[in-house]
Amino acid sequence: MVLARELGDGIGYWTDRLVGRLEGLGDDEYLWEPVEGCWSVRRGADGTWRPDLGPRGTPWTPDEVVPPVTTIAWRLWHLGASPQPGWPPTTASSAMDFSKRWWTAEQAHGEEGVGTAREAIDALVSHWKAVAELVREFDDNELLVPMGETAGPYREASVHGLVLHVADELIHHSAEVAVLRDLYRAGAAR
């Protein structure tokens, strides 16, 4: 299970790198809105923290709409800083089951966010540790099998490709968080 171990170890490494980059993150910075109209995670009248979402109630906007700038809080929610993150799956009986759970859940996100930087970091660590452990247990041969009809237009792509996509989401959203931290620090220093 060399391939599965390498993928799981990679996810663990990229998670640790993000957590290291979040060291010292305070609540003001976590919720900082660098421009007007940012998407963030906001406390509702009922006290529950919820993310701003697009017109279809998803984290995506229609192709013809310019996506909004997002806060660190929103990006971390997108990566799983939620009391019940739904993306990516953290339980599956096999690599193929992981794929099925991915496609049938429509990459569901947790409906709630968290209101503090500490809660967000703790949720991320817990969630991505579980993802890394799950992926390490996959069968290498099954990782290379096409996902099939459940994956729609990606039916010929392998589960390995899906796990790489999941890793790409973790990596590129982590980089976006890092840039927001740099901008906050540069603005706060003036």
User: What's 161's domain CATH number?
Assistant: 1.20.120
CA–CA dist 108, 12 (Å, integer)? 22
Residue 59 pLDDT more than 80? no
Residue 107 pLDDT more than 60? no
Number of domains the chain is built from: 1
> Residue 152 has which token pair?
């729609």
User: Which residues face 41 on adjacent strands?
Assistant: 51
What is the pTM for the complete model shown? 0.91
In which band, very low, low, confident or very high, does the pLDDT at 84 lie, cut at 50, 70 and 90? confident
> Residue 87 has which token pair?
């993306």
Radius of gyration (Cα) for the chain, nearest Å?
Answer: 17
